[in-house]
Copies of this chain bind each other. A is one copy, B any other.
C-alpha cells in the first residue's frame, strides 16, 4: 500500500505480519489445537512476551488479516460519494474491494475454512464483526438518518444484515470449493438479504 511512515512503523507492521503468517501456516499444517503460542513465537523469531504485545491470543493473530480487510471495507464505505444511500454505499464498497483484490485471496480462503471448523475462531471473528458493526451503523446513520423515524434501529439492522451477507457468502464460497467467483455469491447474498421475507 504505502512505502511511507517511519522505519519503526514499518518494522512493526512487518513483525505483525510475520506473526500472522507463522500462525496461519502452523495452523494449516498441524491443525489449530496442535499449535501453541510458543510454537508461533519460535516460527516468527520473536519472544513469547512480544507476541502478547501484538496479539492477545492465537485467535487474534490468525484473524489479523480478516480484521484488516474489514477495516479497509469500512474505510471504503466512508469514502463513498455523498449522494449514495447507506445501502448503495455498502454495496458499492464491497464491489470495489472485491474488484481490486482480484478475487484471489488464498489466505482469505484459508482463514475462512479454519474459522468454519473452529468455534474459538468463529467466536473471535464474530466479536470483531460486532465491533465493526458499530462503525458501520454510524456510517449508515450518517447517510440515511435524516428525517427517518426509526433511523437508529434501521441502521443497526442494515449494518448487521450486511455483515451477515458477507459472512454467509464467504462460507458458501468455501463450501463450493471456490467454484464460483466470490463476487457473484456476494452479490447474490446481498440481493437476498435486501429482499423482503414473505
User: Which A residues form the contact surface with B (CB < 8 A)?
Assistant: 85, 87, 119, 122-124, 126-127, 129-131, 150, 152-154, 156-158, 160-161, 164-165, 167-168, 172, 188-189, 192-198
Contact = CB atoms under 8 A, between A and B. Distances in A.
Contacts of A126: 123, 126-127, 129-130
17 contacts: A87-B198, A119-B127, A119-B131, A123-B123, A123-B126, A126-B130, A150-B188, A152-B172, A153-B188, A156-B172, A157-B165, A157-B168, A157-B189, A160-B167, A160-B168, A161-B197, A164-B164
Nearest to A131: B119
Nearest to A128: B123
A13 to B, nearest CB: 24
Nearest to A121: B127
